[in-house]
Amino acid sequence: MPFPSAALAPGETVAASFAEQFAAVRRCTEELCAPLATEDYVIQSMPEASPAKWHLAHTSWFFETFVLHPHVPGYRSFHPEFNYLFNSYYQALGPRWARDQRGVLSRPTVEDTYRYRKYIDDQIRELLDAGNVAMLDRVADTIVLGLHHEQQHQELILTDLKHAFAQNPLRPAYHSAKRSIGAPPPSRWVRFAEALVEIGHAGAPEQRTGTFPQSSGPLFRGAHFAYDNERPRHKTLRPAFRLANRLVTNAEYLAFMTDGGYAKPQLWLSDGWAARQAGDWQAPLYWEKRDETWSTFTLTGQRPIGPDEPVCHVSYYEADAFARWARARLPTEAEWESAAETVAIGGHFLEAGRGQPGAMPAADDHGPLFQLFGDVWQWTASPHVSYPGYRQPAGALGEYNGKFMCNQMVLRGASCATPRSHARRTYRNFFPPEARWQFSGIRLASDA
């Protein structure tokens, strides 16, 4: 059973100690890697994806760089070259190993990498166990950020691995879990009236996660944490609109394909059509047609297309073209977030152990809005730009989100590869419009 479960989710009600939460998140990353052969840790199948080994090391480097080095007097690096090797993109931290060359490195070995993780874990635990409240106040925010950061990489480990396995003609399977898919509810519009709404996270920028609590409180709970790009909470005029009650299914997407969706430039954005041409896209990523039947590669291997499952691995361009074909459009961030305000965070997360989106049994749904969280991230019509009043954090961590506010589109919700405790209504995920290897799908909207 490759997917970690209970350990992962402190959730809303579990009040684990801070150290326990730290250990749980770190352990989850390693549990996700448990099914891998040593060789699987090493490969990089495209510049945007990273070897699992790199993810393991980089998430440790994060704690080393932002917590241990600045805050632990006399801290000794695990290895002098690791800052160079495992810095992802922080310009303020000096030069770094080229992103598209991560698959060229056989060393450190997987074993070395796990030793690195253990070294960092020991150091952090020691720091947490010391009971130095002043110190904890200084580092708590960054550790929490580091845990959320690590959760993002948990998702990337799965998406990058899926991409790598999909290239391989041997079609390796990551796991073999069964999946039971229920029929989705009928599609319908949910109408919202024009309103002056508030969106974004209310936490003050200076105080990223709240002061470190004396008790072992639920520090890590989603509600208390947010990235800088989710702030500040602010008013915006949301026009009247309609939001689809559920995700677009494979069956619906196939209708678009059958109707020539990939052959009609008039349905596509100009850059989207160019991407379609350059990549010779004929279907979502991983889809394959043999003998007139479509199948797709999943973490459990090659499988027939499930008509009731949410369509997945589409780019923004495809989502946008599909919406135009359906005489609809994608929702804006404000529309999505304000609609999500009334919905409980639930759904098909990493812990469900499927690694593949799937419609929940109808019985689980008490709508009107289904599948807002879990299954697939939902492309919005909103470019990733700063909210009014946004303040970029000082120092290297200011690069976390702020410098990516151009040429990227926001996705909302969460996916079947997202840890449950990582999901938030205000969460702004973002990827370039041509990205397809994330668990990304489509929810429609339209003018009211």
Comparison of 390 and 427: residue with beta carbon closer to a copy of itself = 390
In this structure, are residues 245 and 367 in contact, taking their beta carbons and an 8 Å threshold?
yes
Residue spans of alpha helices (H) in 171-300:
250-258, 270-279
Q: Does 270 bind a copy of itself (CB under 8 A)?
A: yes
In this structure, are residues 146 and 66 in contact, taking their beta carbons and an 8 Å threshold?
yes
Contact with a copy of itself (CB under 8 A) among 91, 176, 211, 282 = 91
Per CB under 8 A, the segment of 10-18, 116-124, 264-272, 338-346 that binds a copy of itself is: 264-272
Q: Does 363 bind a copy of itself (CB under 8 A)?
A: no
Contact with a copy of itself (CB under 8 A) among 15, 251, 269, 369 = 269
Q: Does 169 bind a copy of itself (CB under 8 A)?
A: yes
In the shown chain, the binding pattern of residues 284 to 323 toward a copy of itself, with x for contact by CB under 8 A and - for none, equals: --------------------------------xx--x---
In this structure, are residues 181 and 359 in contact, taking their beta carbons and an 8 Å threshold?
yes
Cα within 13 Å of Cα(15), Cβ side: 4
φ, ψ of residue 84 to 5 degrees: the values are: -65, -40
Q: Does 236 bind a copy of itself (CB under 8 A)?
A: yes
Contact with a copy of itself (CB under 8 A) among 109, 176, 216, 282 = 109
CB of 352 to a copy of itself, least distance (A): 26
Comparison of 46 and 344: residue with beta carbon closer to a copy of itself = 46
Comparison of 144 and 275: residue with beta carbon closer to a copy of itself = 275
Peptide bond into 393 cis (omega under 30): no
Contact with a copy of itself (CB under 8 A) among 167, 176, 211, 216 = 167
* CA proximity to 201, closest of 224, 180, 183: 224
Comparison of 215 and 266: residue with beta carbon closer to a copy of itself = 266
Q: Does 383 bind a copy of itself (CB under 8 A)?
A: yes
Q: Does 37 bind a copy of itself (CB under 8 A)?
A: yes
| Tokens standing for residue 265 | 């430039």
Contact with a copy of itself (CB under 8 A) among 8, 9, 24, 42 = 42
* CA proximity to 315, closest of 407, 432, 436, 431: 436
**What's the CA gap between 249 and 324, in Å, rounded?**
16
**Own/partner pairs for 75-78, CB < 8 Å, 24+ apart?**
75/123, 78/116, 78/119, 78/120
Contact with a copy of itself (CB under 8 A) among 284, 433, 437, 444 = 433
Q: Does 86 bind a copy of itself (CB under 8 A)?
A: no
Q: Does 447 bind a copy of itself (CB under 8 A)?
A: yes
In this structure, are residues 44 and 102 in contact, taking their beta carbons and an 8 Å threshold?
yes
Give the helix, strand, coil percentages of the chain, each rounded to 5: 40, 15, 50
Per CB under 8 A, the segment of 33-41, 129-137, 178-186, 343-351 that binds a copy of itself is: 33-41
Q: Does 164 bind a copy of itself (CB under 8 A)?
A: yes
CB of 60 to a copy of itself, least distance (A): 16
* CA proximity to 32, closest of 59, 5, 63: 5
| Tokens standing for residue 371 | 């599948």
In this structure, are residues 2 and 35 in contact, taking their beta carbons and an 8 Å threshold?
yes
* CA proximity to 442, closest of 347, 293, 317, 277: 317
In the β-sheet with 189-192, what is the strand arrangement from edge to edge? 189-192, 241-244, 445-447
Per CB under 8 A, the segment of 248-256, 351-359, 367-375, 405-413 that binds a copy of itself is: 405-413
In this structure, are residues 183 and 359 in contact, taking their beta carbons and an 8 Å threshold?
yes
Contact with a copy of itself (CB under 8 A) among 6, 13, 107, 258 = 107
Q: Does 15 bind a copy of itself (CB under 8 A)?
A: no
Given the rule CB under 8 A, which residues bind a copy of itself?
Answer: 37-45, 53, 81, 84-85, 89, 91-92, 97, 101, 103-110, 164, 167-170, 172, 196, 234-237, 239, 265-266, 268-273, 316-317, 320, 381-383, 385-386, 388-389, 398-399, 403-407, 433, 447
